[in-house]
Structure 1
Amino acid sequence: MKPGIPKGTRDFSSIQVARRNFIFSTIKHSFELFGFQPIETPSFENSSTLMGKYGEEGDRLIFKILNSGPYLSKVSDEVLAEKDSGKLTKQISEKALRYDLTVPFARYVVQHQNEITFPFKRYQIQPVWRADKPQKGRYREFYQCDADVVGSQSLWQEVEFVQLYDAVFSKLKIQGTTIKINNRKILSGIAEVIGAKDKLIDFTVALDKLDKIGKDGVVAEMISKGISEEAIKKVQPLFDFTGSNDDKLNSLAEMLVASEEGTKGVEELRFVIKNIKGLGLQTASLDLDVTLARGLNYYTGAIFEVSAPKEVKIGSIGGGGRYDDLTGIFGLKDVSGVGISFGLDRIYLVMEELGLFNEVELPKPKVLFLNFDENESLAKIKAINELRANGVKAELYPDVATTNNQQKKQWKYVDKRGIEFVITTVEDEQFKLKNTQTREEKLLKIKEIIKIVQ
């Protein structure tokens, strides 16, 4: 049988890994520059930790793990006869692969609350899994790069996260990103004033799909969820909301004057937008998008989503928001949190399409010792050890060349990997060093070579 991998997963070549590591290191450096500390959590969690935290659609995308052993023997004949996958899953699966890093982080905070100093700023760079339909920029296994703060209600955290997005994309040289911002309190206020408060989740999930399915698709989904045509008519102006951020805030303030929660959301957004305007951004722009809903149940305040530059047709490359109630689900009340995530895989695609990987190179030796004489191997290995002890990447070509063709093969290897310095022969404890760029050759002792190549 021909070997293969599951749909929605990928193998990565050496150059792809090097490029991904470049993105990882850039994001990690910015996280630590902003004062975030690293943690890690298990790749799988108890199902009870994950289920019910992402809404009905999210729950369907969680990969469940079968219990070990004869798991079907514990299931009653009645449940088997029903063929109800929901009931059956609960009895044969107690664990699941993590869907994101935020819910496991909330569990971590509750479990380790006595060891944490609040406010706690953490970052986490690990893979997550979703049983989604694979497509360009959307995979079933992918990395998230998250930064969160828990234990602070200050809106300056939201301001800092906008700056963090801008800092990372500036360092990656991705020009023209748009940081979209909204507030779940505004969405709640809109649902309230149009008389659809009891349909808030359905309303926000449908609204969040505007870019994907258009106005008609959103309207059809809202109607299918039981939202009245009269309510939908009242919300129609949101589909074409235009003007500056200040213009949009003023229009929302007027629209939501009868909603206390909606008014509070407008005030929170005004604070963030005003201060970002005062601080300025390097390459990104901040845009108030009233249709931004991010259909996750746990957001309670600001919500973010980052769009790639217009010339790259791809979905969001980052997102996040405030989640005041998330740790309460696990028994820890009154701990506010806010966080953002970077979509590594989509960022990679954006950088690839824009040609931003030109300077990223594969790891390679600074010095390669060619292997033309087995009798010289021990002396060369000793020299390699000394080079490595001084922080110089060095290696010996493993196979001895006994013919001209085999020697040509070693030189071809040097050329293909772009190795700068080559040592060919050993003469009286001296090594013949060749600079492949200048073609200059010298017979030198190892200490002299170290000075040159460093």
Structure 2
Amino acid sequence: MASKPSIPKGTRDFSPAEVAKRQYIIQIIKNNFEKFGFQPIETPSFENSETLMGKYGEEGDRLIFKILNSGEYVSKFNDTLVEFIRFSIIYHKDYLEKKNESFDMKDYDFLYKKNLTTYLKSKSLYIFKDGTISEIELLDDVFYFILKRLKKDNLLSKSDSELDDFVKIIFADFYYELKYKYLTGYISEKALRYDLTVPFARYVVQHQNDIEFPFKRYQIQPVWRADRPQKGRFREFFQCDADVVGSKSLWQEVELVQLYDTVFTELGLKGVTVKINNRKVLSGIAEVIGASDKLIDFTVALDKLDKIGEDGVKKEMIEKGIGAEAIEKVQPLFNFTGTIAEKIEKLGLLLTSSEEGMKGVEELRFICENVMKLGLSSAILDLDVTLARGLNYYTGAIFEVAPPKEVAMGSIGGGGRYDDLTGIFGLKNMSGVGISFGLDRIYLVVEELNLFPETVTATSQALFINYGDAEAFYALQAIQKLRAAGIKVELYPDNAKMAKQFQHADKRNIPFAVIIGEQEIASNSFSLKNLVSGEQVSLDFEGLKNALL
């Protein structure tokens, strides 16, 4: 029986109309990236696991999709373990029969591992792809598990004919007992990228000798996260990133705010709010209240203010070990209102005793004052001191973009300054700053506000009706010239009934039909029918081309 077709949760198919709308957004973002001087790069859809793991915090690491090595390698791994178990059983059985005494670890260290390695190599079975068994920790765990089972099941009482069944039992119990404690690490060395920023940092370090710094790059590619799917949150989605590395200038932050404003204005999304904060400010606040060692707990809780409210944030902070007295010192943050200038002054008063915090305040002052002087077309800039994006690598400015207030949707963009991201790959003192556009959420917002132009989903401008081979050939000669002029036209492929061909044009929202019969061929003309008004006119080729332009 054929299986019912389906796709994994958190992924989607896109219809031609949906793809057209997505490409409309992508093209606007791409055009503006290039206007601002960013250059395109692409990186692989998957990276080595060590490139990604440990870069997003504990929560982020859990959401990384790991890729299994080839089926052949997994099978080889399993074969190796089966033979390892078989060898271990025989070895211990022989050892105990000969020694007739308790197990001696010295014999295990000097003889057992050596004999095991020789045995597995003789069968061309290895734990690792490079043909070695250099990692002993896994073997030790399995060895002690086997030893425990051998004692429990009284191995010496079993006959040789029972060994195969015993091997299968041990193999199954081993997987259950260790719950893939080591297996995943050995059979998965790659992972789907979680975002575009860490792969970009890897790219910069790997190609540093070929890059002219400061380097402005943009990247529009899919990423994957093993998240719980919900509205606006998917397991496979596109990110549209723009980053600058090799410059500590805060003018880059000013331009990135302008970039957000330019893109969202062109999309018709008026009233988008670009929220800004600074990680140094958050560090300074934690320092002032005596909770520097709990900076992450503090910022994560504070970031939830709009979701769980003041009482919820305070409760979470207390649960994380932040005292009531410390929380009292940041009470002003829970009702942080006023203009940007007023908020910056309040922060300055709160953080006077923190050098780090005051540095963050001055950075915010520079960025916000210059953005306001230059002006924004339709976006709103807001200083949000509760903004504390959870990614570990932000060290300066933090951005998050909220959609217009009439739309219930999470952030549609975000980013920030990272002074040491490339340091994780060995390239020190390479500061960078970047922002991301959330394509999928932007799509939903534009769709909800009915802001897509009607022309976005238009398909062909005209459908040539097929009356037979002679008429089709005449039509294709004209179609060739029209396409060369940049006009979207197509021929109905089959010589079907006219009603069916017109119906096809109607369902495709094609506005015109071109009718060619013996009379049109004889007079070197074309009959153009407006499928909306029903009007039909006879034209020569130039007239047809001009009518379809």
Above 0.5 in TM-score? yes
Partner of 2:256: 161
Partner of 1:308: 403
- Residues 305-324 of structure 1 show CA distances to partners (whole Å, capped at 9, x for unaligned) of 01111111111011000000
Q: Does 1:424 align with 2:515?
A: yes
Instruction: Give 4+ residue runs of structure 1 displaced > 6 Å after superposition.
Output: none
Aligned-partner Cα distance in 2 for 1:333–1:377: 65
Aligned-partner Cα distance in 2 for 1:196–1:119: 36
Given candidates 446, 471, 482, the residue that maps to 1:376 is: 471
Three-state SS of the structure 2 residue aligned to 1:316 is coil
Moved more, 322-331 or 62-71: 62-71
Partner of 1:256: 351
Count matched residues.
450
**CA distance 1:442–1:243, shift in 2 (3 Å):** closer
Partner of 1:415: 506
Q: CA deviation at 1:360?
A: 4.2
Aligned-partner Cα distance in 2 for 1:374–1:413: 20
- Residues 287-322 of structure 1 show CA distances to partners (whole Å, capped at 9, x for unaligned) of 111110001100000000011111111110110000
Q: CA deviation at 1:88?
A: 4.0
Aligned-partner Cα distance in 2 for 1:452–1:286: 46
**CA distance 1:430–1:316, shift in 2 (3 Å):** same
Moved more, 296-305 or 358-367: 358-367
Partner of 2:61: 59
- Residues 44-80 of structure 1 show CA distances to partners (whole Å, capped at 9, x for unaligned) of 1111111111111111111111122343433647265
Q: Is the 8 A contact 2:514 2:529 kept in 1?
A: no
Q: CA deviation at 1:439?
A: 4.6
Q: Structure 1: which amino acid aligns with 2:65?
A: F
Moved more, 82-91 or 173-182: 82-91
Q: Structure 1: which amino acid aligns with 2:479?
A: I
Question: How does 1:268-307 map onto structure 2 within 5 Å?
Answer: 268-307=363-402
Q: Is the 8 A contact 2:528 2:539 kept in 1?
A: no
Question: How does 1:79-90 map onto structure 2 within 5 Å?
Answer: 80=175, 83=178, 87-90=182-185
Q: Structure 2: which amino acid aligns with 1:234?
A: K
Q: Structure 1: which amino acid aligns with 2:342?
A: D
Partner of 2:304: 209
Given candidates 383, 386, 390, the residue that maps to 2:485 is: 390
Aligned-partner Cα distance in 2 for 1:351–1:441: 36
Q: Structure 2: which amino acid aligns with 1:272?
A: I
- Residues 368-392 of structure 1 show CA distances to partners (whole Å, capped at 9, x for unaligned) of 2101234322222222223223322
Q: Is the 8 A contact 2:277 2:397 kept in 1?
A: yes
Q: Identical aligned pairs, as a percentage?
A: 66
Aligned-partner Cα distance in 2 for 1:244–1:447: 61
Partner of 1:241: 336
Q: CA deviation at 1:429?
A: 5.8
- Residues 190-240 of structure 1 show CA distances to partners (whole Å, capped at 9, x for unaligned) of 111111111112222222222233333323332333333332232232122
Q: Structure 1: which amino acid aligns with 2:466?
A: N
Q: CA deviation at 1:109?
A: 0.4
Partner of 1:128: 223
Higher helix proportion (structure 1 or 2): 2
Aligned-partner Cα distance in 1 for 2:179–2:73: 19
Q: Is the 8 A contact 1:183 1:301 kept in 2?
A: yes
- Residues 244-279 of structure 1 show CA distances to partners (whole Å, capped at 9, x for unaligned) of 111111111111111110000000000011111111
Partner of 2:150: none
Three-state SS of the structure 2 residue aligned to 1:114 is helix
Task: Specify every segment of 5 or more residues in structure 2 that has no aligned partner in the other structure, as ranges.
Answer: 79-126, 128-137, 143-174
Given candidates 124, 141, 166, the residue that maps to 1:78 is: 141
Q: Is the 8 A contact 2:458 2:510 kept in 1?
A: no
Aligned-partner Cα distance in 2 for 1:298–1:82: 37
Q: CA deviation at 1:350?
A: 0.8
**CA distance 1:87–1:187, shift in 2 (3 Å):** farther
Partner of 1:150: 245
Aligned-partner Cα distance in 2 for 1:92–1:240: 51
The higher radius of gyration belongs to: 2
Q: Is the 8 A contact 2:33 2:218 kept in 1?
A: yes
Q: Does 1:399 align with 2:494?
A: yes
RMSD, aligned α-carbons = 1.9
Q: Does 1:138 align with 2:140?
A: no
Partner of 2:52: 50
Three-state SS of the structure 2 residue aligned to 1:211 is helix
Partner of 1:433: 527
TM-score (norm 1): 0.94
Q: Does 1:33 align with 2:35?
A: yes
